[in-house]
Amino acid sequence: MQLPTKLTLLALASSVFASPALQARSETGIAYYGFENSTMTACGIYSNDTDFIVGLSTDYVNWENRDNCFKNVTVSLTDDPSTSVEVTVTDACKDCGDSANVYLSVAAFEALGVLSVGKLNVTWAFVDGSN
């Protein structure tokens, strides 16, 4: 039995628009912290330790690709998602290892935990839902 043409087109359209590439996603990785000390970032600005900023993997931002610069990201503790901070992408993290890992400014890291732990297990996502 063949589906009517309208149903076939509707099924085809919904499979295209439900593509996983179009859905928002989050990443689970490790957050490190870094001292800014008024250094120039990959997004071309100077940041300070008191700024709420994040550096993402070079898969997301680098000196040649700044499409994700200045987007907002929510970073949450993996074991306590109610503890989160909203930060702005201003830098690349070329030494973070896995592409899901991030580095946070001192102020942003301290909003989630204490510096002495050195790293935190986190989940992060773009606030606007982009990939």
Give how many domains the chain has, as a whole number: 1
Question: Can you tell me which residue has the tokens 């901070």?
Answer: 85
pLDDT of residue 21: 37
**Does 2 have pLDDT greater than 60?**
no
Q: What is the pLDDT of residues 11-65, one digit of tens each?
A: 333 333 333 333 457 899 999 999 888 888 999 999 999 999 999 999 999 888 8
Q: What is the pLDDT of residues 16-30, one digit of tens each?
A: 333 333 345 789 999
Would residue 61 count as lying in a domain?
Answer: yes
Q: What is the pLDDT of residues 71-124, one digit of tens each?
A: 999 999 999 999 999 999 999 998 888 999 999 999 999 999 999 999 999 999
Look up residue 34 and give its two tokens.
Answer: 């870094």
Q: What is the CATH number of the domain that holds 91?
A: 2.40.40.10
Look up residue 92 and give its two tokens.
Answer: 């690349």
Q: Are strands 27-34 and 80-92 parallel, antiparallel or unpaired?
A: unpaired
C-alpha–C-alpha distance, residues 54 and 47, integer Å: 10
Range(s) of the domain holding residue 35: 26-126
Do residues 89 and 73 make contact, with C-beta atoms less than 8 angstroms apart? yes
Would residue 71 count as lying in a domain?
Answer: yes
